[in-house]
Structure 1
Amino acid sequence: RATADHAPAVLARVGSAPSPAAEEVEEAATVAPTTGAAVVPESGSGRVDGVALPAIAAPTTHPRRTVRVGLQVERGAGVDVAEAARVVSATLGDPRGWQTHDAVRFRVVPPEAVAAGDVDITIVLASPSLTDELCAPLRTRGKVSCFNVGKVVLNVRRWMQGVPGYGTDLAAYRQYMVNHEVGHGLYHGHVECPRVGAVAPVMLQQSKGLDGCRPNPWPTSG
């Protein structure tokens, strides 16, 4: 199986998450951009380049296992590559993140190792068109992200436009995108809002809506 936006995950080496494809199709149809959102190209070149990630900060707790991660960005998708690399590394190394929650250690691998398949999770920033291709058989419809066969596929439409639930806080939404999809790679499935007014669990499909919860991008907070 695979997981879109936060799609049921087909996990290569690290895990799987149970989430029905029908739910993902519904989500893709209901996600809307924030007001005044950036214009995003429907497609880039269809080719991805490996990107050297900055070192990820070591966890504050003793890790039980190491997860190798790398980054790729589609050419022509309109992404600030250096900024994307900074956001991904900072998010994965934040003490509020999965390293603390799951007692893992994220280790950066170079682009050539990613290309050779010597990686556990590859994070890919992709245009809506390439997202649909990489997420198949999930029907992401150019609108949402997914985890599929070891790849965290972050849809540039969401990366650039955000969602209404996060308002103008695009930085926090990008942290959520990374943490939610990587969460699928660490065996975490979707959950529901526990109660109105609660901090949203990071594995809630927050792109679809908050169901009365408050937005939250961090695994340790919800």
Structure 2
Amino acid sequence: MALNYQIVPVTPFEQNCSLLWCDETMRAAVVDPGGDIRRILAAVEKRGVQVERILVTHGHIDHAGGVAELAERLAVPVEGPHEDDRFWIDGMPQQALTFGFPDVRSFTPDRWLKQGDTVRFGQVEMQVLHCPGHTPGHVVFFSDAARLAVVGDVLFRGSVGRTDFPKGNFDALIASIRQKLWPLGDDVAFISGHGPMSTFGEERLNNPFCSDWS
């Protein structure tokens, strides 16, 4: 069994929506469908996979603005984020006004996630890590077998998530990275919410915000 992925940039923010699938069963999950639903569905069709669930790292509109529509179109459950992001999701229509997005609907996940939970599609199992800081309810999805993490806006190549939004906390963000992500191993590759992929080892060496030397 192998975990495959395709990054599908969506919204004017170029947010990295991720299509993840099990190559043995061709069962899939969509992580952070922020918008551009037709683009996401085209990737699903091209890969020939069957989406089992939608996973959400946090409640910002560029990551979660398309969740309600996609869940309805595919008739699949929504899992995540942590319930501490409920206020962001409930405020989705206001976020649309603030950031100039089309009208979007809020939603209630079928399952709020917490530290220690797991999510599954096909034969893939991913651990859930609660990593507050960018938002209070941000979660990360990690496959130990594939040595791959989907980290949303916690960590980027050469940078970290913003903490100037409501209930953001820089110290909590750095603690999440160092205490929850680094112990997973330097060889772990990660998909960020924006920009190129990297590895935890690379960021421990060179990231000016959270390296071992910063």
TM-score normalised per structure 2: 0.28
Specify which structure has the bigger relative contact order, considering alpha-carbon pairs within 8 angstroms and separated by 6 or more residues. 1
Which structure shows the bigger proportion of residues in strand conformation?
Answer: 2
TM-score normalised per structure 1: 0.28
